[in-house]
Structure 1
Amino acid sequence: MLDVLLRLFNMQHTALGKTVSHKTRHERARFLRRFFRDLVDKAGFRRPPDPRNLGQKHVQAMVQVWQRERLAPATIQTYLSFLRGLASWLDKPGLVRPPAHYGLRLEEYERHEYAQRDKSWRAQGLDVEQVLQQVAAFDPRIAACMRLMHVFGLRDKESVMLRPHAHVVPFAQTGLPDVGLNADDYLWVKGKGGRVRWIAIDADAQRLALAQARTLVTGQDASMGDPARTLRQNLRRLMYVLEKFGITRRAAGTTGHGLRHGHVNDLYEQIGGVPSPVRGGPVLPPVQDRAARKAVAERAGHARLRASGAYIGSVTLARNRPSDRSAEPPCG
């Protein structure tokens, strides 16, 4: 029955009238199959129920399992969201209750919307150029993708799918208003939700990264991904190389995504004139802060200004920072 439901509904967004990405479909299907297995393996049920008979006792039991396993708040929120989707497919819209109903404390399910620390490579003591040189000796194509993430603030998927020839166009072809003219050439990037953004190519490091990337692709319309691999395989290769060189949250305190964090934090400082809140910067006047956050949100490809806080932190973080830094305890 679960397979039938997945075939019928898994491509649909649970709240909006649109389809979801292949990544979301894969993760949702994998979770739901594991959920019913875990009801037996971890929650003590004799057999997994028919999805049509899913009830509160099953959800409650699995929430207790997640509490024991100390899953991250974001993970629990995602799992509950997937279960709400399943409930909607079964025409049981109220089946999954708010997290507090299952005894979850606020800190166990509330996501941190704003960054609490600088996740960039620099903040973790990593020399970006040194790492990229080492990676280039092992896999030049992956190193070029990582460099594009670094100088343009791209997501991993965006860097792999980028076409270094075809996606660079003169300003006149962007359709942007003349007030937005910041460079002769712009990079076309298609991000999450199909949102397109244009990034001004206004730095030598960006031009160099594109020049290096162009030497590795096979034609004018070719993307950065290895043509012998599928998109999924190229993304796996990128993850493999990052892990091989120790760029993981456990080993280095950051991931490949840290290149994107570093780029947009640098951008905030460039626009605002001071370091971002997660980098210890002071509180900016609201107009300046908003302008810098708007630039960060646009560069990262987010429609909401508030999304910038996930990279640079909140104004509250800067406001609550002790003014007398000599009184702060030394870092461990």
Structure 2
Amino acid sequence: MEVTLNVKALLSDYRLPADFKRELEVLFRENVNRVHSRTRLSSKSLSVKTQGYRLQKLCRSFEELRENGFALQSPWSLKEKHIRFLVNLWVGKKQSGGTIENKITYFRAFANWIDKPNLVGTVGDYVDRKENGLIRSYSALEDKSWEGNQVDAIAVLDEIARTDPVVAMQLKMQAAFGLRVEESFLLRPKESVRHDGLLSVTRGTKGGRDRVVPMELQISVLEEAMQYCNTLTGSTIPDGYTKTQWRNHYYDVLKRYGVTKAGLGVTSHGMRHGYLQQMYERLTGVAAPIKGTGEKADIKSHREAMIQVVAAAGHSRRRKANAYLASYNAVAQQKSAAISLEQAQAAVVSAGGEKKAAAKLLGISRQSLYRILDREKCAE
């Protein structure tokens, strides 16, 4: 039986006129489980959690409009000026670019529900992104892998396994196969191994994008997982737990052992980063750009590796690989931004005036060196 969101109960938490709520309730009931994403492959309805989160943000936004003098009598009366005001309000509250873009996405879906498909623009249509610090980078700017943060994964997993072997096993699966946390919960080890030696990942995936990943020499990890399969579902969530209960337990265990940004400086998602970075290195023969070694793969190998990394990660767009691997340009820009004019000038002197040699000393491109040296001209 399909679980549905209690729309009336959700609306009761918000200070909106009764007639306004009634119209919202009709709109929500008819549309709440509709998928808006253009990259989602699954034909399934949105989860109740996703539905609820989207409606909460919409309701709170309508409250914000009324609190600031917009007496909307009907949700059908939503106009461009309301969206513009909200975006500027959120910017004024110093909300992140990602948060604001998510809210705009919810309103873009809502606009379709009220037959105004062109009502909502992008963040840049309402405010200056650069001026307000809303330029989003789709390339990693820091290495989130455990290896990149000098965390001894084997030691940490051994320690966790002493008190909670199931959590340790799920972390191992994330490291061995690049699984997301929920994918490691819902994987059915006894059913997921294909005859061609690939692992089929079909549950808990993002956007319903099923995928297969190479098992390589990691069969022992699956064999361990098979020992802990739920007797009813076959997943790795232990008997007696719901998914929500297990998720809470899982993160409690990680917190206890310091697997947090505030603790060891890493999260379990860092296992996935490490897996994809290692895959890139195996495919190209050089470390991923985020490692900052300065080595570059040839363009053909790089492009082919990016395609395979995206497929293994379960994403639909090639640029998504940059979130795990970074791009050469992003790394170069970050590195050159950290080099002062004085350091650049000193490198040029050390290299006897040879700009190419000076750039190599600094670990940046010659073009980046010229940009740094140009700062002196701009300052004059």
> Which of the five TM-score ranges fits, normalised by the shorter chain?
0.7 to 0.9
Deviation, structure 1 residue 151: 1.1
Q: Is the 8 A contact 2:181 2:269 kept in 1?
A: yes
SS at match of 2:189: coil
Question: Are the aligned partners of 1:74 and 1:110 in contact in 2 as well (CA < 8 Å)?
Answer: no
- Aligned residue runs from structure 1 range 97-116, under 5 A: 97-106=121-130, 108-116=133-141
Alignment-derived partner of residue 323 in structure 1: 360
Change (3 A) 1:166 1:326: closer
Contact 1:73 1:110 in 2 (8 A): yes
Corresponding residue for residue 174 of structure 1: none
User: Does 1:239 pair with 2:261?
Assistant: no
CA RMSD of aligned residues (A): 2.7
What SS does the aligned partner of 1:324 have? helix
Structure 2: distance between partners of 1:318 and 1:268: 16
Query: Partners of 2:107 and 2:256 in 1: how far apart?
Result: 35
Q: How many residues align?
A: 310
* Alignment-derived partner of residue 29 in structure 1: 55
Matching of residue 9 in structure 1 with residue 46 in structure 2: no
Q: Which of 183, 196, 206 is the matching residue for 1:192?
A: 206
Aligned-partner residue type, residue 30 of structure 2: L
**Structure 1: which amino acid aligns with 2:317?**
R
In structure 2, the partner of 1:148 is 173
Find the structure with the greater CA-based Rg: 2
Equivalent residue for 1:275?
Answer: 287
Identity %: 30
Indicate whether 1:161 and 2:218 are aligned.
no
State the 1:326 CA deviation. Answer: 7.4
Is contact 2:177–2:214 with CA below 8 Å preserved after alignment? no
Report the equivalent of 1:75.
99
**Counterpart residue identity of residue 124, structure 1:** N
Q: Quote the Cα distance in structure 1 between the aligned partners of 2:112 and 2:75.
A: 12
Please tell me the residue identity of whatever aligns with 1:129: I
Q: 1:94 aligns with which of 72, 93, 118?
A: 118
Selected match of 1:207 from 219, 226, 237: 219
Report the residue type matching 1:187 in the other structure. L
In structure 2, relative to structure 1, the CA distance for the partners of 1:11 and 1:273 (3 Å cut) is same
Aligned position for 1:131: 156
Distance 1:207 1:220, change over 3 A: farther
| Letter of the structure 1 residue corresponding to residue 186 of structure 2 | M
Q: Tell me the alpha carbon deviations over residues 143-163 of structure 1, each in whole angstroms, 9 at most, x when there is no partner.
A: 211111111100111101111
3-state DSSP of counterpart to 1:58:
helix
Deviates most, 61-70 or 142-151: 61-70
Contact 2:280 2:309 in 1 (8 A): yes
Cα drift, residue 298 of structure 1: 2.0
Aligned to 1:117: 142
In 2, Cα distance between the equivalents of 1:13 and 1:260?
A: 26
Q: What is the distance in 2 between the residues matched to 1:100 and 1:303? A: 24
More displaced stretch, 104-113 vs 270-279:
104-113
Q: Which amino acid aligns with 1:323?
A: K
Please name the residue that 1:181 is paired with.
none
- Residue type of the alignment partner of 2:24: L
Q: Partner letter of residue 78 of structure 2?
A: L
In structure 2, the residue corresponding to 1:165 is in which secondary structure? helix
1:68 to 1:319, Cα distance in 2 relative to 1, 3 A: closer
Residue matched to 2:345:
none
Q: Which ranges of structure 1 fall in alignment gaps of 5 or more residues?
A: 172-184, 328-332
In the TM superposition, residue 46 of structure 1 has moved relative to its aligned partner by 7.8
1:119 is paired with a residue whose SS is coil
* Distance change (3 Å), C-alpha of 1:300 and 1:97: closer
Q: Does structure 2 conserve the Cα–Cα contact (< 8 Å) formed by 1:114 and 1:310?
A: yes
User: Residue deviations 1:66-108, cap 9 Å, x none?
Assistant: 2133222222111101011111111122322332332242464
Specify every segment of 5 or more residues in structure 2 that has no aligned partner in the other structure, as ranges. Answer: 1-22, 336-358, 365-380
Corresponding residue for residue 325 of structure 2: 312
Preserved CA contact (<8 Å) 2:276 2:324: yes
2: CA distance, partners of 1:247 / 1:270: 27
Instruction: Work out the CA distance in 2 between the residues paired with 1:220 and 1:272.
Output: 42
Contact kept, 8 Å, 2:174 with 2:181, in 1: the verdict is yes
Q: One-letter code of the match for 1:28? A: R
Tell me if the contact between 1:12 and 1:19 (Cα under 8 Å) persists in the aligned partners.
Answer: no
* Cα distance in 2 for residues equivalent to 1:239 and 1:194: 24
Q: Do the aligned partners of residues 301 and 50 (structure 1) sit closer, same or farther apart at CA in structure 2, a change above 3 Å counting? A: same
Structure 2 CA distance for aligned equivalents of residues 97 and 202 of structure 1: 46
| AA aligned opposite 1:58 | H
**Cα distance in 1 for residues equivalent to 2:232 and 2:199:** 15
Deviation at 1:5, TM superposition (A): 1.7
Report the equivalent of 2:310.
297
AA aligned opposite 1:314: S
